[in-house]
Chain A
Amino acid sequence: MMNNVDDPSRPPDPHTHAVHAEGLTAVRGPRTVLHGLDFTVPRGRITGLLGPSGCGKSTLMRAIVGTQAHVSGALEVLGHPAGHPALRTRIGYVTQHPSVYDDLTVRQNLDYFAAILDPGHAAAERRHDNVTRAIADVDLTSHADALAGNLSGGQRSRVSLAVALLGTPELLVLDEPTVGLDPVLRRDLWHLFHDIAATRGTTLLVSSHVMDEAERCHRLLLMRDGRILAEDTPQALRSRTGTETVEAAFLHLVDEAVAAGRAKETAR
C-alpha cells in the first residue's frame, strides 16, 4: 500500500503538484509492470503520458485513480494518498475502452453518473445543466437520445469522456482518448482539453501511443518497459536530444538507454 505519504520532509508542494510519485511500483500477477517510478504532474497543465502499447501507461493511470491493486511506493494525488475516498469526486477517469451502458441513451448514461456524483432532489437542476454541458463539450448534442450501443466507436468513447467531465473534476485522467478518431475530431478534442485546462484550471494527464500528439502537451512523461525515460517539455526534449520531433527524441532516448544497459552488462 501507499506509505510515507505523511512524511513532512518530502519536498513537493501539493498546491503546485497534482500528482507526485516516488518509487512507484506495481505488480500484476508474476510481472512487475511499473519499476519504482519517480515523477510529478504539475497542476493546471496538460501532461502527456507517451510510450508504446504495453509499456505500463494504463497501469500507471489506474494507480493514480486508485483502482490498481498491488501498488507500492509513495503516490500522492491532489494532496491525498492515491485511492483516498475524498478523491472520488475530484478525479475524472476515462478508461481506454468506453465504460458506458450500451443499453442506455447518451443522456440516460450521463444522468445516472451525475446522480452518483451529485445526488439528491435538490441538485436535479444543476445535474441537468451539467449533463447538457458535458454532452455539448464532446459534441454529441445531436446524438443525446441515441442508444450508446448504436453509436460508432469514436462516439462511444466521447460519451465515456463526457461522463468524466460531469463533476468538473480537478484532475482528468484520460487513457488514449483520441484513438480511432478522425483528424478533425482529434483536433477538436485537443482544443477542448486546452480549453478545460485554461478556463477551469483542470490538470490533465493524457496517454497516447501516437507521438505526434506529444506536441500538443505542456509537459511529457515518456515511458518504456515500465520505466520513465524522460520527463520534460516537448521543446526541451527536442533540444536536449538535438532532434526535430518528439518521436525522434523518444528513439534517441531509447537508443541511449539500450546502449547504457549494454555498457553496464559488459562492465560486469
Chain B
Amino acid sequence: MTTTHAPVAAHAPARALSASRTTATAARVLRQLRHDPRTIALLMLVPCVMLVLLRYVFDSSPRTFDNIGASLLGIFPLITMFLVTSIATLRERTSGTLERLLAMPLGKGDLIAGYALAFGVLAIIQSALATGLALWVLGLKVTGSAWLLLLVALLDALLGTALGLFVSAFAASEFQAVQFMPAVIFPQLLLCGLFTPRSRMHPVLEAISDVLPMSYAVDGMNEVMRHTDVTATFVRDVLIVAGCALLVLGLGAATLRRRTA
C-alpha cells in the first residue's frame, strides 16, 4: 500500500444546484445502465413491440389504432420511466450510497436533476424510436407535427421519473416499489380517456380524472392527432403535465433526508 501525495483539493462549496454535480450524477446513472444492456434493450424495445402488437390487434379498424396508438405514445414513457426511476432510487436508498452522497456536498436538487436528466435522455431515445415506428412503419395518422408528439412524450417521461422518485420514498423493498406501479399508474390509465372518452364516465370519475396528470398527457397527444397547429388546449395540457412533473420532483426532493433515524 502506498501513500503518495496528490495536491490537496480546494473544495468548492455546496450550492443549491451545481451544473457540474448534476451532469456528473446524470453521467453516473447512464454509466450504471451501460453495464446493464438488457435493461436498455427492454426499455427501448418493449414499447415498440407493444405498438406493433396493437397495430395488428386492430388490423381491421385502423381508426381505432390511430386513437389508441397516439395515447400510448404518451403513456409508455411515463410507465417505463416510473418503474426504472422508482427501482433505481430505491437501490440508492438501500445501498447506503444516498446516505453517503448526502453526507457529501451534493445538493438534493443536484441528485434529482441528475436523475431527471439521465432518464430524460433515455426517454428521448425511447420516444423517438416508438414515434418513428408508429408514424412511418405502422402508418399512424397524425394531423399535427411529430415534434409535438415527441415533446409530450418527453414531458410524460419526466412525469414518470418524478412519480417514481417520489414513491420510492415510501417503498422499503423492490417488491413494494413494483407494487406501486399498479397503485399509482393503473387508476390513471383507466381514467385517462384511453378506453372511453372521459366525458362519458360517471361524473365522479370524470371529476377525479380532471385532477390526474395522465389525463392531460393523453389529451395533449389527441390534440396533436386532430389539429395541424398548436391549439390552446394543447398548450394547457403541456403546461399541466410539466407543472405536475416539477411539483412531484419537488416533493421527491423533500423525501431525501440528510438525517435519518
**Interface residue from B1, B24, B28, B100 paired with A119 (Cβ < 8 Å):** B24
Contact present for A126 and B9 (CB under 8 Å): yes
Contact present for B6 and A101 (CB under 8 Å): no
In the complex, B18 has a CB within 8 A of chain A: yes
In the complex, A120 has a CB within 8 A of chain B: yes
Contact present for B9 and A116 (CB under 8 Å): no
**Interface residue from A28, A29, A88 paired with B14 (Cβ < 8 Å):** A88
Which positions 213-261 of chain B face chain A at CB distance < 8 Å? 257-261
Contact present for A133 and B106 (CB under 8 Å): no
Contact present for A69 and B36 (CB under 8 Å): no
In the complex, B103 has a CB within 8 A of chain A: yes
- Number of A-B residue pairs at CB separation under 8 A: 135
Q: Which residues of A contact B31 (CB under 8 A)?
A: 104, 108, 112
CB B19 to nearest CB in A, in angstroms, measures: 9
Contact present for A88 and B9 (CB under 8 Å): no
Contact present for B106 and A116 (CB under 8 Å): yes
Interface with B: A91-99, A207-215, A233-241, A256-264, which one?
A91-99
Contact present for B20 and A196 (CB under 8 Å): no
Contact present for B258 and A133 (CB under 8 Å): no
Contact present for A103 and B35 (CB under 8 Å): yes
Contact present for B103 and A91 (CB under 8 Å): yes
Distance between Cα atoms of A104 and B260 in the complex (Å)? 26
Contact present for B101 and A116 (CB under 8 Å): yes
Contact present for B103 and A85 (CB under 8 Å): no
**Interface residue from A69, A99, A168, A191 paired with B259 (Cβ < 8 Å):** A69
* Contact-size category for A: 35 or more
Contact present for B103 and A66 (CB under 8 Å): yes
Q: Which residues of B contact A108 (CB under 8 A)?
A: 28, 31
Distance between Cα atoms of A123 and B18 in the complex (Å)? 15
In the complex, B145 has a CB within 8 A of chain A: no
Chain B residue at minimal CB-CB distance from A91:
B103
Given A100-B97, A112-B24, A119-B20, answer yes or no on A67-B102 (Cβ-Cβ < 8 Å): yes
Q: Which residues of B contact A147 (CB under 8 A)?
A: 35
A95, A112, A129, A133 pick with most chain B CB within 10 angstroms:
A112
Contact present for A70 and B261 (CB under 8 Å): yes
Interface with B: A42-50, A134-142, A247-255, which one?
A134-142
Query: What string of 1s and 0s marks CB contacts (under 8 Å) between A109-148 and chain B?
Result: 0001101111111010011011011001111000000010
Query: What string of 1s and 0s marks CB contacts (under 8 Å) between B97-109 and chain A?
Result: 1011111111000
Contact present for B103 and A126 (CB under 8 Å): no
In the complex, A36 has a CB within 8 A of chain B: no
Distance between Cα atoms of A99 and B20 in the complex (Å)? 22
Selected A-B contacts with CB under 8 Å, 29 pairs:
A29-B261, A67-B258, A67-B260, A70-B261, A83-B259, A95-B99, A95-B100, A100-B97, A103-B32, A104-B31, A104-B32, A112-B25, A113-B100, A117-B11, A118-B11, A119-B18, A119-B21, A121-B20, A133-B3, A133-B5, A136-B4, A139-B1, A147-B35, A168-B6, A168-B8, A168-B9, A195-B1, A199-B5, A200-B5
Q: Which residues of A contact B (CB under 8 A)?
A: 28-29, 65-70, 83, 85, 88-89, 91, 93, 95, 97-104, 108, 112-113, 115-121, 123, 126-127, 129-130, 132-133, 136-139, 147, 163, 167-168, 188-189, 191-192, 195-196, 199-200
Q: Shortest 8 CB-CB distances between A and B: which pairs? A: A99-B96, A115-B24, A129-B6, A119-B20, A89-B11, A69-B259, A112-B28, A99-B100
Q: Which residues of B contact A (CB under 8 A)?
A: 1-9, 11-14, 18, 20-21, 24-25, 27-28, 31-32, 35-36, 95-97, 99-106, 257-261
